Amino acid sequence: ISLCMMKGSIGLFVVLCLSIASSITIWEDGKEYHFLEESAVQVGTKDLDRSASGLRMMSDVRIQVSGNRLVVSMDNVQEAHYSHSYAGADWPYRLMQEKVKDPKSRYFKSIGYEHGNTFSMLLEDGLVSMLELPEGLSMNGKNMMRAMASILQMDTTEHEMGIW
C-alpha cells in the first residue's frame, strides 16, 4: 500500500504500534501518510458551575518520507473557540468524528499561522535531530510546527524489536 489513510491521532498511534511490533522502522521510506490531527487547550472548573474556555484546532496532515527525512504539510486548518457552561455528564467540545451538530462547538476556517506551510525534519533513532521551518513564519506558526514535530517522533533507542 503506497498511501496510508488514517483518521485522528489514534490512527497514527495504531500505525506506530504496528510498525514497532513488526520492526523498528516507524516511517517507511518512499511512503506518504495522511491523517486528521485534532488537539485542544482547555481551562475549566467543576466547582459551582461547570464551565470551560478553550480552543480546539484541527488540520489535515501529510507526511512524505524520504530516508530519515519527513516532509510535513498542514492544510485545511480549522479552529473552534469555546467559553460557556456545559452539562455535568457532557463534554464541552464535540469531536468532528462524533458527528454531533453542536452550535457551541462549530469549527471555522483558521487564519492558522501554519496553514498551507511545509516543514521538514531529520530523525535519528526516531527522534528529531534537525528541524527546518519556513522562513518568515511567525513565532506562533513556528511553535505550532515544533509541536507537530514533537508528536511525530518516537524514541527507538535501547528497545527490543518486540512489543514494549
The answer to whether the beta carbons of residues 148 and 37 sit under 8 Å apart is: yes
Calpha distance 126→93 (Å, rounded): 32
Cell of 68: 530519515
Model confidence pLDDT, tens digit, residues 125-137: 889 999 999 988 8
**pLDDT tens column, 47-60:** 666 777 888 888 89
User: pLDDT at position 3, please?
Assistant: 42
Tens-digit pLDDT profile for residues 106-155: 777 877 666 788 999 999 988 999 999 998 888 888 888 898 899 898 88
Confidence grade of residue 2 (pLDDT, cut at 50, 70, 90): very low
